[in-house]
Every structure is written in structure tokens, then in C-alpha cells.
Structure 1
Amino acid sequence: MDSVVKSLSARLAPANADKQVTVPDFERPTREEAEAAVRTLIAWAGDNPDREGLVDTPRRVVKAYEELYGGYRQDPEAQLDRVFAEVGGYDDMVLLRDIQFFSHCEHHMVPFTGRVHIAYYPNGGVVGLSKLARVVDIFANRLQTQETMTAQILDTIDARLRPRGAAVMVEAAHMCMSMRGIQKQGSMTITSRFSGVFREDPAEQARFMTLVRAGA
């Protein structure tokens, strides 16, 4: 079994299979500098960063940022390395629906949350379903726009799995619309992107949409 997996993974691997997580082209601040920046923001907001309730807040915020933005330190394509070929010849649509996510808008650093639906037509093998959810989490754990995240998820699946077609739909509520600015509660933003047979055949898009909505 392992030999089959390794053989197929090697065939499906793109030319940049050894690509590592992108290193930023700027100098990353130290933890101490990051904590000092949080203290400055607290003072700018109008409170005393040295009072009892806030004195440890800079440390906690920096620690939280390590988790909330951990996607910068992970390679999403690496999650799709292992492909399973022994699937009884299955070549129909694989759909993973309602993947919950939490992210932060790159414009205001305010949360947006929602769910992602992913489908693809296998090209000789399938990937573990949890790996698709991990790809979503990696991109969500970065400063994002919903449109960019939608494209990044699909492009990663295309690059690594080379499916006959892939589809991604993201539904999200943006706090930058509900808690500030226009303050409209309950609005949802929907984005989608298709490749291969999904892009070429409207009937495949309709099938994907129907299966997604079947669980709504």
C-alpha cells in the first residue's frame, strides 16, 4: 500500500514539490517589540497599560497572535502530499461540506467567520479529507480577504492534486460590516471559484451547488 501511495504521490507532485514556507522579505520584529507595540495601542485607545487588568495583556496578545496567524509558518501544499490510489476505481465527485473557519480581514484586522465547501474529481487518487480542512485552516490563519482565500484554496488543490476539476465556495460573515462602519447585522458574503470540468460545464457547477445546499 505504501508503495502505491508513494508512487502516485510522486507522479502527482508538481515541479515545486520541495517549496518551503515563504520567508517574509522584511525583518520580523522581536517578541519584545511586538509586546511594546500592543502597549502603545492600549495607551492610544485611552487606557493605562500598567494597570492591573492590562499589565499582562501585551504578552497575552502576542501569544494569541502566534496561534491566530500561525498559517504564515505552514505550507498548505505539504498537507496534500499523501494521495491514496486504492479507492476501488472511484472517480466521481468528492465533496467536503461545511468546513468551519475563523479568519481576520486584512483591512481592519477584524474577524470574519464562516464555512468552506470543497469538491474535486479525482485524477488517479484521493487525499485524506482532514487534509483539505487543514488547507483551509492554514489560509484562514493569515490576514486575508475572502476573495483571496477562496482562490488560494482552489489553486493549492489544483497544483498538488491535479484533479479533473475542483470547486470551492466560501460563505462568511464579516465583523467589519456588523460591528463597525455600516453596521449591518446578518449579511453574508459568498465567493466561489472553479477549475477543470467545473469551470467548463455549468451542469457540474449546478450539481456542486445542489449538493452543498442539500445540507443547508
Structure 2
Amino acid sequence: MVVTMVMLGSELTIREMFKGAPEGQVSTFGMTIPDSGEESYYRVRQSFDYRPARLDWANRPSREASPWNGSRTTTRIPVAILPIPDVRFKGFSKDVVDFYHPDQDVFFISDALFRQIEQVDPASLEHVEFYVQAKDAKLPFHAVMPRRVIEAVDPRRTRVVIKDTSYGFRVVKFPDGVVFKSNNLQGVASFSDIDAGGWYWSKDLVDIVQSRGVRGCYLQSVASVPPREVARL
């Protein structure tokens, strides 16, 4: 059975939708404000233009033992549990880029990119320091996860679907894309969303890293499905 709930004028949070939706059904909560507003954040992914498979993480943990952001029903596993990553690059140091996404919710970023993010949004990243060993040099890197995992999606401007799966857990879906609550993100340049997942950067942070020649990033708008490409760095 599919239950459609359109809460006109409702101020329900996604947490309240998640808790209150009937069990065993698919509940859809429609938008109450059709205007999506100005887009201020983009999802950052690794760019496959730079052949990221050349990065070899020798002591990668199993998926079950890997750090991850957690969910509404499961606990976060911090990046600090990682042993110091043993990472080799199958090439020369000039071809190592600043951004890699080797596993689940863990990202590998260059020391230069880490310092840039810290300057804009201090203490926004959990991190473990390590080196990438290229053929000709060792390069300082950080294994990172966004420290902020928040409910950032604006349910007034985003269609929200709550579904109970056959595996016995409840999920939140956004079939048309997401709009973030920009007034609740003042001063925030980097975060992950508890339901949408991913790592999101503010426009200001994107502009800064782009101006400084950061390589290896693929930026997407998530305001629509499929996502729209914004930039390849």
C-alpha cells in the first residue's frame, strides 16, 4: 500500500516524518513551498578524469569495519578507528591529485586541500594523517570524514518518501532531488546529510579551492534527478 501525505503548511521535520510514518507502508510527504530558492551547496565526488584507480590502499579495512557516517538507526563509526593508511600511487607524484574517494564515507585529500578547508571551516573534518607513496616522492595526505552529519534537507521544498524495506529497516528517499535549509547553514562550508549522505561544499568553498588549482573533484547540483554537473576540477 502507498500512503500519500501532503502536509500543507506543515512544519514537520524529517525526523518527525521518519518517526511518525505508518509501519510497513510507503509514505510520501509533498512540498509545501514550491520555490527551491538559491542553491548554495554542491555534492563533491572524485573525478574519474584522473584515473583514481591508480591509488592502491594496501591495508583497506573490510566494508563492515570501515568508518561511516551512521544513520538515523545506526551508530557512526569514526575515521579515527583506521590504522594509518598504507597507500601507494602507481605513477609519479605530479599525477597525484588532491581528492580521492576510496571507500564508503572516507575521503583521501591532500594536505593542501585539508588546510584550505580548515581555514574556511575550522574543525569541520575528522582526519587521520598519512602519506601517499608515489614512484618518486611521499606526499602528505589526510583520510577525512565530515564532522557534521546533520538534517540539512528542507522538507518544505523537498518531496520526502519514507519507506520500510523488506530487510526490516526504514529509509528516507528524495525522488526529485533535495533543497537544503540555507538559513540553518550560516557559516557552514562542509557537511554531510543524515539522510541524503554524501559530502557537500558551499559555493564559497568551491570557489576558493577552484581558484587555488585543486584537482580531482567533481561537483554536482543535487537539486534535481539526475544530478547536474557543476564543475570538474
Smaller-chain TM-score bracket: under 0.3
Greater relative contact order (CA < 8 Å, ≥ 6 in sequence)? 2
Q: Per residue, is there more strand in 1 or in 2?
A: 2
Q: Per residue, is there more helix in 1 or in 2?
A: 1
| TM-score, normalization by structure 1 | 0.27
Higher alpha-carbon Rg: 1
| TM-score, normalization by structure 2 | 0.26
